[in-house]
Structure 1
Amino acid sequence: MIGSFLRSIAIIAASYSILKLIQYSLNKICKITKFDVRYENTLCSVLSSISYYIIFLTSTVLILREFQIVDITKFGTLVTGASIVGILAGVASQSILKDIFNGFFVLFEKQMQVGDFVIINETFRGTIEEIGVRSTSLRDWDLKRITIPNGSISSIRNFSKERMRVVVHVRVPYEEDPMKVLESLEEVCNIMNEQYKNYLFKLPSGKPKGPFNVYGVTDIEDSPVGAKYTITGIVYSYKYFNALRDTKLQILIVFRNNKVRIAYPTHINILHNDNEYRGDF
């Protein structure tokens, strides 16, 4: 009994060492390949996950054999062990298979990769750190690690697919001169095109596909405070959030310099005097 216990410890230690060796080898192999970096990281993450499950199942069978619960050399005990595994698998198979199949669809369709910034199920947002056979892990803005079963992923909004369109809206009081507002927004676009000239998404010819420009007046009905103006620009995805913040900042700066007001809700209070005026007749 003591011998079986010691051999089981040795199996666990060996399995752990083999797993670490595989992970180390995968990282080294991925570094010398010429694939895209995100694809390499994703591939390493998936292969590491598969290796973990294979080694875990193998070591479990070996440990069970040490305690004579399963003997792979004897058909009877093998059938018994398979029956036990079958019962356990029958209980959990539905969710496990859903996780695995959904995970493979996500991988093969390249819906997301390690390093992508995503919003999953319109609830969880962050940077993908690991994609496994059964689950996906991401790191949010607060640096909390979130793990989501692949089977529960119903929607993915990926902010890291080569290019993204920056769309910024601003509301201006109806009293402002529309032409002055448009000229100020054109000034903002010129600043952004110069500041982000190296990050504008470009066609194979080298010409920007969608530089910053004034889209125009996009709403004058749904708000009582002012008209809505919109500017857009297409940048490489890794610069999207920087461009979004800088565009909003430039709008504030240019509007302030040009004395253009930004609309905001106001309240008018009317005070009534209950004392009636009484004159002499």
Structure 2
Amino acid sequence: MPVQVVTVALLIILTVYLIRKFIKLFFDKTSFLDEKHEETLMHFANQVTKVLGLIIFLIYVLSHFFDLTKFVTGSVVVAGSLALIFQHIIRDYIMGLTYLFERQIHLGDYVIINGNRQGKIEEISMRYLKIRQYDGYLYTVSYSSITELQNGNRGKRRVNESLVLNYRQNPDRAFKVMEEVAQICNEKYGEYLLKDENGIPLESFKFNQITELNVDFRGHRYSISGLVNEADFVEAGKKVRYELAMAAYKSDLMMSESLSTIQ
């Protein structure tokens, strides 16, 4: 039996290797998909073949100890219970396939997840994304927890920065300060804006008013956005964040507080 198990394991490893080589060769010989989408599909295929290979190996090993036919046919209730237990994992897989085949995300894309996590996609697995944030931390998010996804690589790059202000902050005063910040950004950082053939910005920095209420039970979100050049996206975001922080300091805006601070 140990010899058979090792032999089957080696055959599975060889099969997975050949499948991956075939997929890579197929993409190398064809050109109906763009390079970034091919790279994403290759990465996802590597994840799938690894998991399938492991499952097949486990089934083979278990078949030496159980009658799998009787076990499977007599375990409908167990399977249903497991499906309920692992419903979030199943949902992750389904949503991952949806994001992939609808071409909503690719490796290397700059994305904003749920409005508060942003960075570059470094890994796309069957259940989650790994995003390298601007502070250097690697953020892992499951597909089922994604409620909002903004992709900055889908044609245009939009800087979208915000302040979460306290409930007790007067909105009229906050509106005035944010409008001034948008004007300052247009005057100081206009060279970052994406322009048409006549040199006119496609979308200047603008105040989007209150974009979200009751943010984590702490306050309201006031945001500023603008279309910028791809190469200037990171730098433009830093500049806008600086102007927002400076405006909050000078105007003494009431920032949101954590629940622990309030208590």
**TM-score normalised per structure 2:** 0.60
State the shift of 1:247 in Å. Answer: 7.9
Aligned residues: 215
Cα separation, partners in 2 of 1:15 and 1:125, compared to 1, 3 Å: farther
Quote the Cα distance in structure 2 between the aligned partners of 1:113 and 1:126: 13
Q: Answer yes or no: is 1:200 the counterpart of 2:200.
A: no
Quote the Cα distance in structure 1 between the aligned partners of 2:106 and 2:66: 41
Larger Rg: 1
Matched-pair contact (CA < 8 Å) for 2:205–2:226 = no
> Which of 223, 234, 250 is equivalent to 2:227?
234
Code of the aligned partner of 1:200: L
How do 1:1-281 and structure 2 match up within 5 A? 4-34=1-31, 35-65=33-63, 67-70=64-67, 77-83=68-74, 87=78, 90-91=81-82, 92-141=85-134, 143-166=136-159, 186=187, 189=190, 192=191, 200=194, 202=196, 206-207=197-198, 210=201, 234-237=227-230, 239-245=232-238, 265=250
Instruction: Give deviations 1:202-251, integer Å, cap 9, x for gaps.
Output: 5xxx55562586879x9xxxxxxxxxxxx9863344542234457899x9
The share of aligned pairs that are identical, in percent, is 22
Code of the aligned partner of 2:156: R
Cα separation, partners in 2 of 1:139 and 1:166, compared to 1, 3 Å: closer
Cα separation, partners in 2 of 1:84 and 1:161, compared to 1, 3 Å: same
Quote the Cα distance in structure 2 between the aligned partners of 1:110 and 1:8: 39
Code of the aligned partner of 2:81: G
Code of the aligned partner of 1:8: V
Code of the aligned partner of 2:4: R
Matched-pair contact (CA < 8 Å) for 1:162–1:237 = no
State the shift of 1:163 in Å. Answer: 0.7
Stretches of structure 2 lacking an aligned partner (at least 5 in a row): 163-179, 210-223, 253-263
Code of the aligned partner of 1:80: F
Matched-pair contact (CA < 8 Å) for 2:152–2:158 = no
SS state at 1:100 partner: helix
Instruction: Give deviations 1:157-211, integer Å, cap 9, x for gaps.
Output: 3222221345799xxxxxxxx9xxx89965753xx2xxx6xx9355xxx555625
Matched-pair contact (CA < 8 Å) for 2:43–2:124 = yes
State the shift of 1:144 in Å. Answer: 4.5
SS state at 1:111 partner: coil
Cα separation, partners in 2 of 1:107 and 1:208, compared to 1, 3 Å: farther
Quote the Cα distance in structure 2 between the aligned partners of 1:184 and 1:130: 34
Matched-pair contact (CA < 8 Å) for 2:113–2:150 = yes
Quote the Cα distance in structure 1 between the aligned partners of 2:89 and 2:148: 19
Quote the Cα distance in structure 1 between the aligned partners of 2:135 and 2:232: 20
**TM-score normalised per structure 1:** 0.57
Cα separation, partners in 2 of 1:83 and 1:146, compared to 1, 3 Å: farther
What CA RMSD, in Å, does the superposition of the two structures yield over aligned residues?
4.3
